[in-house]
Structure 1
Amino acid sequence: MEKEQETVADNETVTDEKETAAEEPVEIETEAPAAGTALPDQAKLVLMLEDARAKADENWDQVVRTRAEMDNLRKRQARELENAHKFALERFVNALLPVRDSMEMGLGAASEEGADVAKLREGAELTLKLMADVMAKFDVVQIDPLGEPFNPELHQAMSMTPRSDVPPNTV
């Protein structure tokens, strides 16, 4: 029992010491600068402040210029992309014009009296070859999915017809 009282007494002493330490203001010893040395320190601080402000202004100017440059780059990229789409479409249409001309000539030849069917067929075959060449030039590939399972990523369903000779969902 005496040990408990000593421990309690020790704890109270420690607590009392902490409370008194917290209540007493801690004084930090600082020397007051002499009248002659105060100005150089202030001048040094003013110079440091001016230098920091100059660097901040320089950095801000750099940020503004970078933002403007990024904005100009974004606009230029959008303009170049638009031009690329425009000129790609123009190239494709220019490549298709001979195909259209060939089809028009074939229709004109078919409208004449005494048109030779063999020559019309030959003209249609040449037009088809011309069209295939244009498609190959622009990497357009013909897909023939007949008999393959329906793939919604490649095919577009127009209608469904139940048939007994092919499995369901077959093109």
Structure 2
Amino acid sequence: MSEMEQPEEIQNQPEENPIEEAEKETVDETPTIEEQLQTALAERDEAQDRFLRSQAELDNTRKRYQKELAQTRQYAAAPFIQSLLPALDNLKRAIDAAESADHVDELKQGVEMVAKQIVDIFSQHDIKAIDALGKPFDPNLHEALQQLPSDEHPPMTVMQELEQGFILNDRVVRPTKVIVSSGPTES
């Protein structure tokens, strides 16, 4: 078709340059500075909101942990106390039996049984008695209350236990109170 034969609509249209069209589209798609600023502000607000929520969640978790830790500490001794109660009951029975006991040997035997029961309970909870008698004095395990001369014991040896000490796992709960030898008697 020639120009004459083309419909009038097509004839009146200016010729389009494809490069100019591509540039117009590129320019039109680039956000303006205001749009970029609005996007950046929205991202900042969202990040700040996430940060504040994370901070609050961390604070709540910390408070919950501290509360649980306080409760655990408060009631940590409960299992140990529960295991000691039968020994206390038996000790009370021994006291009641002492009132009507005719033989001291029977009373002594009952109290020894209670003492053994308590030692067994201690061992169940990893509490061990400190063996000090005849051993060299150790200030980490023993508390010397007195030092006496002795021909039977070398110097700085535990001669007598006044109060038994105990260890929980590897920590001294109470040192053994002892009398220590100062060596042979000087003539």
Which TM-score bucket, shorter chain as reference?
A: 0.5 to 0.7
Whose helix fraction is larger, Structure 1's or Structure 2's? 1
The CA deviation at 1:163 is: 3.1
Change (3 A) 1:51 1:91: same
Percentage identity across paired residues of the two chains: 30
Change (3 A) 1:64 1:135: same
- For the pair 1:143 / 2:130, whether they are aligned, the reply is yes
> What's the TM-score once normalised by structure 1's chain length?
0.64
- For the pair 1:100 / 2:88, whether they are aligned, the reply is yes
CA RMSD after TM alignment: 2.8
Which residue is equivalent to 1:128? 115
The count of aligned residue pairs is: 131
- Preserved CA contact (<8 Å) 1:95 1:134: yes
Counterpart amino acid of residue 52 in structure 1? A
- Preserved CA contact (<8 Å) 1:135 1:141: yes
Within 5 A, what are the aligned runs for 1:79-118?
79-112=67-100, 114-118=101-105
Change (3 A) 1:47 1:167: farther
The answer for unaligned runs of 5 or more in structure 1 is 1-38
Deviations 1:54-97 (A, max 9, x none): 12111111221121111111111111112222332122212111
Counterpart amino acid of residue 95 in structure 2? L
> What's the TM-score once normalised by structure 2's chain length?
0.59
2:49 to 55, 61, 73: 61
Which residue is equivalent to 1:23? none
Q: Give the distance between the partners of 1:136 and 1:44, measured in 2 at CA.
A: 78
SS in 2 for 1:61: helix
Q: Give the distance between the partners of 2:28 and 2:157, measured in 1 at CA.
A: 90
Whose strand fraction is larger, Structure 1's or Structure 2's? 2
The answer for unaligned runs of 5 or more in structure 2 is 1-26, 159-179, 181-187
